[in-house]
């Protein structure tokens, strides 16, 4: 996907000495003057606003700040000497950058009233700007775990047992059916009759309607109506592509600001068209049936715009044994010719009445 930069927002950091929340681009605490060390992390404010000042935007894209290896002072990217002690910053450690901090939220948040004096304070403030009282609510005590009554716990405990019993019953039933299907019984039977059917398709050239992408339609055919449809997605922009972007989110730039980005992809739309093409299609089927051992193909009388299509044949033998009738489908016409009506055969018949093998006596 393509990452689109929408701008930058200022982060904030909390002074470990006095808990004052400071703007991200500010390198020392506005309350006690303590410098931000490399141990403090930037945080995403509850409400963010895209930066608009050109000077601030120019600094935002320069890269992560560095900390002086001698005094620890935070300096901007590209600085050659420390602003505090003048030390060489050639080997200075860069602040971490690139971490996703969360979705962009520009909705205004209501002020928080101080629980001590009632003064409204901006959301995220750790202490009241009027009386200095703490605005951080104490964590709630964990709720006691719910205890289920003994009567309510029993049905839940029996459910796995019921499920296991059901699975066992199903497996045993399937095994019993399988064993029954494998059991066979030998019988002597007589061929009571035979049946056969042979069919031939008759083809004619007719216009057939199809649909496809316009650039994949064969040449020389008649193209009908077209409509624009989604075809594919790609990662890079293309002429006529529709840009689809996700929710904006923020990435720590390491300099007190976060880059606001969107992940985007590009949907390609194309013309989906109907077209007509002349093809050989089945317009009729000629069939012939019989009850003897001399199967024949139906005689065709084709016109100049017709031709013969696929052929298919079916053969069936009916046996009689002890008052029961059994049917055997046969696929080979040469094998079918062996079943002379009145001839005797040894059959193996399954529990469900299916012939599993035949042998002539």
Reported residue count of the chain is 361
Q: Among 201, 220, 196, 192, which residue's Cα sits nearest to residue 302?
A: 201
- Position 64 scores a pLDDT of 95
The dihedral sign for the CA sequence 24, 30, 31, 32: positive
C-beta neighbour count of 101 within 10 angstroms: 18
Contacts of 361 (CB under 8 A, 6+ apart): 188, 344, 345, 346
- Position 179 scores a pLDDT of 65
Q: What span, in angstroms and rounded, lies between the C-alpha atoms of 190 and 291?
A: 16
- Position 140 scores a pLDDT of 38
Q: pTM for this structure?
A: 0.57
Contacts of 219 (CB under 8 A, 6+ apart): none
Q: What span, in angstroms and rounded, lies between the C-alpha atoms of 33 and 15?
A: 9
- Position 148 scores a pLDDT of 44
Q: Among 39, 30, 99, which residue's Cα sits nearest to residue 258?
A: 99
The phi and psi torsions of 198 (rounded to 5 degrees) equal -125, 135
Taking a C-beta distance cutoff of 8 angstroms, is the pair 212, 225 a contact?
no
The phi and psi torsions of 106 (rounded to 5 degrees) equal -105, 5
- pLDDT, one tens digit for every residue, the chain (361 residues): 789 999 999 999 999 999 999 999 999 999 999 999 999 999 999 888 999 998 888 888 889 999 999 999 999 999 999 999 999 999 899 999 999 999 998 777 778 888 888 888 877 666 788 888 877 553 334 444 544 444 444 444 455 778 887 888 888 777 766 666 567 789 999 999 999 999 999 999 999 999 999 999 999 899 999 999 999 999 999 999 999 999 999 999 999 999 999 999 999 999 999 999 999 999 999 999 999 999 999 999 999 999 999 999 999 999 999 889 999 999 999 999 999 999 999 999 998 889 999 999 8
Please report, for the chain, the start and end positions of each structural domain, with discontinuous segments joined by +: 109-137
- Position 81 scores a pLDDT of 96
The owner of tokens 């992408």 is 213
Contacts of 60 (CB under 8 A, 6+ apart): 8, 51, 253, 255, 257, 259
């Amino acid at each position: 996907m393509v990452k689109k930069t929408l701008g930058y927002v200022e982060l904030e950091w909390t002074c470990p000495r006095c808990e004052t929340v400071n703007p991200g681009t500010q390198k020392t605490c506005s309350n006690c003057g303590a410098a931000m060390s490399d141990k403090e992390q930037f945080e995403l404010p509850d409400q963010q606003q895209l930066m608009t000042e050109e000077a601030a935007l120019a600094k935002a894209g320069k890269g992560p700040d560095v900390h002086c290896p001698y005094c620890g002072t935070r300096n901007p990217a590209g600085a050659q000497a420390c602003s505090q002690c003048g030390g060489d910053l050639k080997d200075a450690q860069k602040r971490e950058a690139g971490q996703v901090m969360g979705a962009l939220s520009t909705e205004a948040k209501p002020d928080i009233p101080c629980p001590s004096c009632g003064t409204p304070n901006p959301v995220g403030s750790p202490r009241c700007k009027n009386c200095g009282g703490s605005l951080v609510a104490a964590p709630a005590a964990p709720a006691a775990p719910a205890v289920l009554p003994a009567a309510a716990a029993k049905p839940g405990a029996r459910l796995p047992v019921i499920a296991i019993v059901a699975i066992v019953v199903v497996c045993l039933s399937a095994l019993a059916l399988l064993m029954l299907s494998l059991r066979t019984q030998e019988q002597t039977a007589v061929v009571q009759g035979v049946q056969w059917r042979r069919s031939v398709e008759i083809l004619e050239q007719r216009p057939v309607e199809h649909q496809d992408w316009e650039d994949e339609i064969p040449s020389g055919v008649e193209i009908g109506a077209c409509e624009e449809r989604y075809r594919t997605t790609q990662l890079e922009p293309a002429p006529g592509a529709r840009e689809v972007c996700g929710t904006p989110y923020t990435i720590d730039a390491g300099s007190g600001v976060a880059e606001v980005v969107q992940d985007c992809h590009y949907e390609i739309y194309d013309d989906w068209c109907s077209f007509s093409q002349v093809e050989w299609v089945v317009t009729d089927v000629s069939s012939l049936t019989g009850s003897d051992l001399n199967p024949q193909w139906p005689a065709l009388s084709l016109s100049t715009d017709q031709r013969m299509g696929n052929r298919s044949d079916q053969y069936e033998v009916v046996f009689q044994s002890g008052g029961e009738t059994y049917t055997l489908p046969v696929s080979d016409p040469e094998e079918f010719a062996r079943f002379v009506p009145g001839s005797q055969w040894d059959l193996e018949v399954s529990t469900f009445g299916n012939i599993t093998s035949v042998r002539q006596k």
